Amino acid sequence: QVQLVESGGGLVQAGGSLRLSCAASGRTLTMGWFRQAPGKEREIVAAITWSGYTTYYYANSVKGRFSISRDGAKNTVYLQMSSLKPEDTAVYYCAAKTTASVTRLDDDYAYWGQGTQVTVSS
């Protein structure tokens, strides 16, 4: 069983930056960040997989503004968010799976964090 603990959400002004962290308690090969805004479906933001080489995925809406990275020694994945916009406001969830493939569907991820609120004010 893998447990995910997220941190780093908060309130920031438009144009600002935040970094989310997700620490995993067990072995995973793919981790991703999803978000869900009020009244909207949960959507993938970014994902990273590592098995010999590292593969990244970014949603078009965050390309060039967000960056996902991993610290293998700490078994932690980060989401660096810059140039934040009010439409980035959502609950952000960390997700993980034990297979090495970047996928965009939340059903593909077996493990989930509790979620952390990110609010971007205009």
Per-residue pLDDT of the chain (122 residues; tens, 9 = 90+): 899 999 999 999 999 999 999 999 989 999 999 999 999 999 999 999 988 889 999 999 999 999 999 999 999 999 999 999 999 999 999 999 999 998 999 999 999 999 999 999 99
Residues 103, 105, 111, 112, CA torsion sign:
positive
Say how many C-beta atoms besides its own lie within 10 A of residue 118's C-beta. Answer: 22
Angle value at C-alpha 25, between 97 and 74, nearest 5 degrees: 100
